[in-house]
């Protein structure tokens, strides 16, 4: 099994730590992550996938890195 994602990311606008709550160890493998994320996914109507992220603190948006 690969390394679990700790979702440790910072808002490029305000620098807020967007790491969310810890995920209980016994279900971490379902998510492939040790923590949830506070960033908000903005989907494209056309492509039906997340194309941008939004910071819940400053509402700033940035492009999703693919």
Where on the chain is the footprint of Zn ion (CB under 5 A)?
Answer: 11, 13-14, 16, 55, 57-58, 60
36 phi and psi angles, rounded to 5 deg: -80, 180
Residue closer to Zn ion by CB (options 4, 38) is 38
Residue 61 CB, nearest distance to Zn ion (Å)?
A: 9
Residue pair 38/30 in contact (Cβ under 8 Å)? The answer is: no
Half-sphere exposure of 52 (CA within 13 A, CB side): 12
Place of tokens 């810890």: 22
Residue 55 CB, nearest distance to Zn ion (Å)?
A: 3
Residue 1 CB, nearest distance to Zn ion (Å)?
A: 32
């Amino acid at each position: 099994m690969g390394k679990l994602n700790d979702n440790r990311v910072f808002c490029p606008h305000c620098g807020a730590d967007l790491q969310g709550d810890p995920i209980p160890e016994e279900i971490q493998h379902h998510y492939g992550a040790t923590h949830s994320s506070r960033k908000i996914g903005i989907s494209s109507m056309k492509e039906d996938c997340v194309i941008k992220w939004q910071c819940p603190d400053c509402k700033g948006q940035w492009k999703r890195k693919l």
